[in-house]
Amino acid sequence: MSKGMYVPKESQPKQGGGAAKAKDGKRKIVAQNKKARHDYAIIDTYEAGLVLTGTEVKSLRQGRASLTDGFVQIDGNEAWLHNAHIPEYSQGTWTNHTVRRKRKLLLHREEIDKLASKSEETGHTIVPLALYFKDGRAKAEIALARGKKEYDKRQTLREKQDRRESDRAIAAAKRKQRGA
């Protein structure tokens, strides 16, 4: 390249030797609420951003969180995550966060309005399903759900067990066929 020649910024070589982070949309799951899928029939899922303090992010990056008692509430046109347990950061000082404080969820206005109207219907609630990092940002997967009755839970377990047994039988038949 000759001196004084104009080169667009996009085609110029990048300065610095730092390793670039891959922005491939992979999720690093921190916590899951497996009991929610057992206790509720999931109708619709949403991805929401979380408003967190610095020590909460550091604690999440260590892979420490629990959503077992968590729930989402719409209050004053804002979505809030209640009872999610993010333990105190071990290296934190007096700036450490409260363990079970309510945390604001970042959603679009249309999503909040839809969740608010649906959650007011009988038997519907909003539950957190997972906390994860996506492209370096903390996200929460929340779901609009309807509570299952006890017989629904038993039916789901029975179907899961039947599916597992049929998969085993098919795999055994394939192994037998290959061996013959």
Q: What is the DSSP letter of 85?
A: B
Q: Which amino acid is at 132?
A: Y
Question: Which tens digit of pLDDT belongs to each residue from 49-98?
Answer: 888 877 888 888 888 788 888 888 888 888 898 888 888 777 766 776 66
**How confident is the model at residue 16, as a pLDDT?**
40
| CA contacts within 13 A on the Cβ side of 170 | 6
pLDDT of 163 > 70? The answer is: yes
CA distance 28 to 136: 9
| Residue from 146, 131, 124 nearest 81 by CA | 131
pLDDT of 18 > 50? The answer is: no
